Amino acid sequence: MTVASAADAGADEERLVPTVDGRRARRDANREKVVDAMLDLYREGELAPSISRVADRSGVSHRSVFRYFEDLDQLCRVAIERHAASVAHLVEIDELGHGTLRERIGALIRCRIELYETVAPVVRVTRMRAPLQPVLDERLVADRRRLDRQVAKQFAQEIDALPADERMAVSRAVQVMCSLDSMELMRHSQGLSRSETVAAITTALSRILGTDRNRM
């Protein structure tokens, strides 16, 4: 190869790199549009949107959707995982386990109701698909366990002060009351408002955990 030929080849490679990078960027952008469209449809109450609905909402062709995802199940998993990562900060509670009982109840319920209001539509989809997709079922179990551990630590001093034969039962009851499933029942099935749900859970926790009124 002559020096000129080598130079021409190098120039061709330099021209090719931006082209390849540009295609990859467009592919990534379109893939994100598809995931965004799926999540938007979930939030609007569509539990099982079709590929056609997703394609129409995203502005990406039906055929292109299948270039980015193997099937609808994979798209669903990616969307749910992205959503979970985007709301992870809503799970955190500052100074977990510290403060008066009233303060700790308030902090936990404020955190949980905000989390519920944000994730409820996507969680409904996750529950619906979990029996057929083990990955989603594992995520549901792991998320519930994480939230249960948080409740146990937030109210450890009250639960630890109970007679040994009552601790497990009370702990489980409190975890259920603070769960997203409980909030789904109150908000979605019983039709309670956000403030009514907060008041109901706060009152129940205060009754169960606040046997010594001075500790509140």
Residue 85 has pLDDT above 50, yes or no: yes
Task: Please give the C-alpha separations between residue 159 and each of 1, 59, 172, 198, in angstroms, as whole numbers.
Answer: 80, 53, 10, 21
Cβ contact 96:154 at 8 Å: yes
pLDDT in tens, 125-171: 888 888 877 878 888 898 999 999 999 999 999 999 999 999 999 99
Proportion of the chain above pLDDT 90, given as a percent: 41
Going along the chain from its start, the domains and CATH numbers come out as 3-84 (1.10.357.10), 88-215 (no CATH)
Task: Please give the C-alpha separations between residue 167 and each of 4, 55, 98, 155, in angstroms, as whole numbers.
Answer: 83, 52, 20, 11
pLDDT band at 216 (very low <50, low <70, confident <90, very high): very low
The per-residue DSSP string of 104-130 comes to HHHHHHHHHHHHHHHHHHHHHHHHHHG
Section 112-130 average pLDDT: 89
Residue 71 in tokens: 């099937």
Cβ contact 102:171 at 8 Å: no
Q: Which residue has the higher pLDDT, 176 or 73?
A: 176
What is the chain's mean pLDDT, rounded? Answer: 85
Residue 25 has pLDDT above 60, yes or no: yes
Section 22-49 average pLDDT: 83
Please give the Cα distance from 151 to 171 (Å, whole number): 8
